[in-house]
Structure 1
Amino acid sequence: MTDTLRLVCAGDRFISADLLAGALEAELAGGARRHALPATIDRVDSDWPTAPFADVDGVREASGDPAALAALTRGAHALVTHLAPVTREVVEAGRGTLRVIGVTRGGPVNVDVAAAAEASVPVVHLPGRNLGAVAEYCVGTMICAMRGLPDAAAGLARGRWDAEGFRYERTGTELRAATVGLVGLGAVGARVAELLGAFGATVLAHDPYADPATARRAGARLVGLDELLAGSDVVSLHARLTEETRHIVDAAALAAMRPGSLLVNTARGELVDAAALDRALESGHLRGAVLDVFDPEPPAAGDPLLRRPGVFATPHLAGASTQVAEESAVRIAREVAAVLTGGGAGRDT
């Protein structure tokens, strides 16, 4: 092992290089494993989210210059990032010295994982890293949308006092009286189920890969998709995007949803046929929708969903919290340190 490790931290305006470096320095100075390793750390930050991420040289949702990152990575022992473009060029630049790549995301989509495997460099990441923030967003916006609060607040901001929200036909359902269907029961879906249980909601879940024991612990009953759509007051999406799940909520699925129900999407925009959703809202079949993700992102300025009454739309903010940034840095530092000290990758690999 070398006397001094050389590390590269590539951050942004959410999880900065300084935040990553501070967590690594604390861990390597004698964290939970009591190892003390001297290290020098090179730092670089992209302008994300001010500048949007993009697909770059075979990796997805990345921000930064691969050539500049490759130059920094040459001779480094570890590369730690949130969403820098860890392309084949970057991995090849670190060949011979690079021991680990750490990514503070649920999935390392901004890493050329195949190139890393060819170079025998493990990639560690953080499944479920933002589950608390996303779960709270889901439940909070469900309550707001079911009660019509976003439209009421917007009207008041325009000077309109709308007392008609007390008309019976315009009132919404409380969570304790609602059935909520979760499409996908991974880490985020399970946490949403637990929170909903505390409100007294009935929770259904559809996930062909879910562990029945996990569903029971979360308080959800596993059902088929058709049963979930027909029986839920709220349908919330938590599935990963695959060819199997792309447009899983299409015109037929929307038609199968309970009249007056609500759709919540904090997963991926491509899970929903946006044109079909707009028609379902225009017809009044759905009460509304909560949308934090779009296809594409950002959505077009003329996207009709953004102006549709009953739509509560936010710019991909469900996973944004102080805790996500700080805890992600600490967790990835622990994982990277485990590899650098010969302990192997930890549970977040």
Structure 2
Amino acid sequence: MRILAAGDHFVAPDLFARELAAEIGAQHHVERLRLPWPLTPFGPVAEVDEASGDEDTMLAALDGAQVCVTQMGPVTRRILDGAPDLRLVVIGRGGPVNVNLDAAKERGVQVCNAPGRNAAATAEYTVGMMLAAMRRIPETSAALAAGRWAGEYYTYDNCGPGLDGANVGLVGCGAVGSRVARALTALGARVRVYDPYADERVLRASGEPVADLDALLRGSDVVSLHARLTPETRGLLGARELALLPDGAVVVNCARGALLDEDALCEALESGRLAAAGLDVFAVEPPPPHSRLRSAPRLVMTPHLAGANTSVAHNAARIAAAEVGRFLRGEPLAHRVA
């Protein structure tokens, strides 16, 4: 069996290969390919999204391969057409958006993903982003590094709100949102959740279910996005929705940039209606030089890091290797999406 481990600078090819060897032994040949992500941001490749690398490189590496294990490698119709031996693609991430699932089904190629591999990391980061934005941590750190003791941030007007006793609205209650809810509850927040697709028991275990997004926004001191990006959720929070938030509210997005209208967010920050915001994701990554986000007040920005810690990389490789093991043993795949 020939296997391609198309890793990158986060889940490295050698990490995939080590987990594969632990799962299936060393008798199968594992070809290694390193893709440029995240040193080069992901983007569209042909008809797939959030991919790293190019079709020609993947085609050459897949020559004769029956299995492809990757995180960001593009698996387009052209690549599937040019890899007739391919039988299994395992994507070491939560969503297989870099795979043409229809083309894979047409060719009898099974596709698996790694749901939940970075849920804990993203949840931790989301709570950290809330605290950083609400408590002015980046501004005060930068001031002190520049040699200025920013005592004005201890004044009532500048110190910022806290999470204890705050009404926090979560949009989405999947693997990440439910973990965020547990952490916020431990910090004393009152958690309300909106997710029209989640099981009622999951919603009630996470906080107070709210059936209407507008109602959630009207009662939220902090709102955090945890929805998947779909045609339905694109632009989920625009100017109208942001205007429903109470004055002094905080918006956090560590999910997908296009869920949020960035111009409307900037206007709300510039007008003073929003107390702060935290973004780890953007509609265009990185934000272009002329983006209003770069000069918006009270905005904490990080370069799509929420799902990145060393545990996540190992989780992704282990989950992917386990799927390859099931495939080789003829067992049902645990996370098959196509």
TM-score tier after normalising by the smaller chain length: over 0.9
CA–CA distance in 1 between the matches of 2:336 and 2:120? Answer: 16
2:192, 2:210 within 8 Å by CA — same for their partners in 1?
yes
Alignment of 1:269-284 (within 5 A): 269-284=257-272
1:8, 1:43 within 8 Å by CA — same for their partners in 2?
yes
Alignment of 1:259-270 (within 5 A): 259-270=247-258
Counterpart residue number, 1:6:
2
**How far has the Cα of 1:348 moved from its partner?**
6.1
Q: Does 1:203 align with 2:203?
A: no
Q: Does 1:74 align with 2:63?
A: yes
1:99, 1:340 within 8 Å by CA — same for their partners in 2?
no
> Helix, strand or coil for the counterpart of 2:168?
strand
State the AA in 1 paired with 2:86.
Answer: L
CA–CA distance in 1 between the matches of 2:159 and 2:144? Answer: 17
Alignment of 1:303-322 (within 5 A): 303-322=291-310
Counterpart residue number, 1:34:
none
Counterpart residue number, 1:246:
234
Counterpart residue number, 2:133:
145
> Helix, strand or coil for the counterpart of 1:175?
coil
Q: Does 1:26 align with 2:22?
A: yes
2:46, 2:76 within 8 Å by CA — same for their partners in 1?
yes
2:92, 2:320 within 8 Å by CA — same for their partners in 1?
yes
Aligned length: 337
Alignment of 1:48-67 (within 5 A): 48-67=37-56
CA–CA distance in 1 between the matches of 2:60 and 2:70? Answer: 15
Alignment of 1:216-231 (within 5 A): 216-231=204-219
2:111, 2:336 within 8 Å by CA — same for their partners in 1?
no
Counterpart residue number, 2:315:
327
1:193, 1:220 within 8 Å by CA — same for their partners in 2?
no
Counterpart residue number, 1:159:
147
> Helix, strand or coil for the counterpart of 1:168?
coil
Return the structure number with greater relative CO, CA threshold 8 A, min gap 6: 2
Picking from 67, 87, 96, the partner of 2:76 is 87
TM-score, with length taken from structure 1: 0.93
**How far has the Cα of 1:170 moved from its partner?**
2.3
1:127, 1:348 within 8 Å by CA — same for their partners in 2?
no
Counterpart residue number, 1:33:
none
Picking from 77, 97, 121, the partner of 1:133 is 121
Question: Which aligned segments of 4 or more residues in structure 1 are displaced greater than 6 angstroms?
Answer: none
Deviations 1:216-252 (A, max 9, x none): 2223433421121111111000111122211111111
1:135, 1:189 within 8 Å by CA — same for their partners in 2?
yes
CA–CA distance in 2 between the matches of 1:222 and 1:159? Answer: 46
* RMSD (Å) for aligned C-alpha atoms: 1.5
> Helix, strand or coil for the counterpart of 1:298?
coil
Deviations 1:23-69 (A, max 9, x none): 1111002xxxxxxx720111110121122222112111111131222
Deviations 1:182-223 (A, max 9, x none): 111111111111111111211111111111101122234334
1:151, 1:309 within 8 Å by CA — same for their partners in 2?
no
State the AA in 2 paired with 1:49.
Answer: P
1:7, 1:42 within 8 Å by CA — same for their partners in 2?
yes
TM-score, with length taken from structure 2: 0.96
Structure 1 window deviating more from structure 2 (294-303 vs 68-77): it is 68-77
Give unpaired runs (5+ residues) of structure 1.
Answer: 30-36
Counterpart residue number, 1:255:
243
Structure 1 window deviating more from structure 2 (60-69 vs 14-23): it is 60-69
2:218, 2:244 within 8 Å by CA — same for their partners in 1?
yes
1:179, 1:231 within 8 Å by CA — same for their partners in 2?
yes
> Helix, strand or coil for the counterpart of 2:121?
helix
